[in-house]
């Protein structure tokens, strides 16, 4: 049964992504002359991911706690990275932001093409020139008043332990005078385990922390800023962990919004 449902889920994601791509393409043609922040095409992509998650028979994703409808335009959002399913969960958040993601994702038919149209930023891990260019693109989006989303671990953690945070997101925030907004995801590691194509039942939740101002900070404060963000992410994740535990006696999840 798991194999059949996993095949169905991949087909569902593919079909929704393909249909969504054509809708997004039409929106791009109509709005690009005046939507320089690519807000419309960006939100379209997030709704594509949201619909895909809603139709996935294994996934029960939502937002825990209060979440602002908008965040400051100059914000670098950072969070832990558990699974390839994380973007589907984070698309439940109500604001637009441009994502820094692996360049290989942008080559995926339909969904990857939609990432290009949305204005998300590709980066090739381990290539200094690619990283430098990607961070410059993130800076351009911040200058346009568009928040950016970066996973500071750089890749998915294979365990419950957070990987060390890379400096890039925090250097960027200090250099641009942007806030750091920590968030945490929980439960997605089970949704689509790393190196596996089979889905599994998952209750995934995202919680949003408190913005950290970088005003008055210099690059000498990068380590302190990383520590502040990491502290919030760990605390948020600890709150979510008992709510996303799966089992025959798993508790109901209070304070969760699916929108």
- Residue 248, pLDDT above cutoff 90: no
Answer yes or no: is 254 within a domain: no
Query: Residue 52 — very low, low, confident or very high, per pLDDT cuts 50/70/90?
Result: very high
What gap in Å lies between CA 53 and CA 62, rounded to an integer? 10
pLDDT of 176 reads 97
Tens digits of residue pLDDT in 223-235: 999 999 999 999 9
Query: CB–CB of 13/197 below 8 Å?
Result: no
Answer yes or no: is 209 within a domain: yes
Answer yes or no: is 10 within a domain: yes
Tens digits of residue pLDDT in 200-228: 889 999 999 999 999 999 999 999 999 99
- The partner residues of 13 in beta bridges, in order of sequence, read none
pLDDT of 257 reads 64
Answer yes or no: is 134 within a domain: yes
pLDDT of 251 reads 41
Query: CB–CB of 147/161 below 8 Å?
Result: no
> Which residues have C-beta within 8 Å of that of residue 128, sequence separation ≥ 6?
none
Report which DSSP code applies to 212: B
- Residue 254, pLDDT above cutoff 60: no
Answer yes or no: is 15 within a domain: yes
pLDDT of 247 reads 57
Answer yes or no: is 252 within a domain: no
Query: Residue 249 — very low, low, confident or very high, per pLDDT cuts 50/70/90?
Result: very low
The total number of structural domains that make up the chain: 1
Domain that holds residue 48: 2-247
- CA-wise closest residue to 93 among 181, 5, 12, 194: 181
pLDDT of 252 reads 44
- Residue 24, pLDDT above cutoff 80: yes
Comparison of pLDDT for 114 and 248, the residue scoring more: 114
Answer yes or no: is 257 within a domain: no
pLDDT of 23 reads 97
The predicted model scores a pTM of 0.91
- Residue 250, pLDDT above cutoff 60: no
Answer yes or no: is 259 within a domain: no
Tens digits of residue pLDDT in 108-167: 999 999 999 999 999 998 888 999 999 999 999 999 999 999 999 988 877 778 999 999
| CATH, residue 218 | 3.40.1130
What gap in Å lies between CA 149 and CA 107, rounded to an integer? 20
Q: What share of the chain is helix, strand, coil (3-state, %, to 5)?
A: 45, 15, 40
Helix axis angle, 2-31 to 39-55, nearest 10°: 160
**DSSP code string of 82-115:** --TTHHHHHTTSSS--EEEEEGGGGGSTTHHHHH
């Amino acid at each position: 049964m798991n194999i059949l449902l996993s095949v169905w889920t991949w087909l569902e994601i593919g079909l929704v992504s393909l249909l969504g791509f054509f809708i997004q393409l039409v929106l791009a043609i109509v709005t690009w002359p005046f939507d320089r922040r690519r807000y419309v095409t960006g939100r379209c992509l997030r709704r594509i991911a949201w619909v895909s998650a809603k139709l996935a028979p294994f996934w029960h994703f939502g937002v825990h706690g209060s979440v602002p409808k908008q965040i400051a335009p100059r914000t670098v959002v950072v969070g832990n990275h558990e699974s390839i399913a994380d973007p589907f969960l984070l698309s439940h958040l109500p604001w637009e932001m441009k994502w820094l993601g692996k360049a290989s994702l942008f080559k995926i038919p339909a969904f990857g093409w939609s990432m290009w149209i949305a204005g998300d930023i590709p980066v090739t891990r381990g290539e200094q020139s690619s990283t430098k260019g990607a961070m410059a693109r993130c800076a351009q989006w911040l200058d346009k008043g568009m928040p950016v989303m970066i996973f500071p671990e750089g890749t998915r953690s294979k365990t419950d332990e957070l990987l060390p945070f890379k400096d890039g997101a925090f250097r960027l925030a200090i250099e641009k005078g942007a806030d750091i907004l920590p968030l945490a995801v929980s439960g997605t590691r089970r949704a689509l385990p790393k190196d596996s194509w089979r889905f599994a039942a998952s209750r995934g939740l995202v919680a949003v922390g408190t913005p950290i101002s970088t005003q008055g900070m210099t690059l000498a404060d990068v380590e302190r800023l990383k520590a502040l963000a990491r502290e919030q992410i760990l605390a948020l994740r600890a709150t979510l962990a008992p709510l996303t535990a799966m089992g025959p006696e798993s508790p109901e999840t209070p304070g969760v919004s699916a929108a």
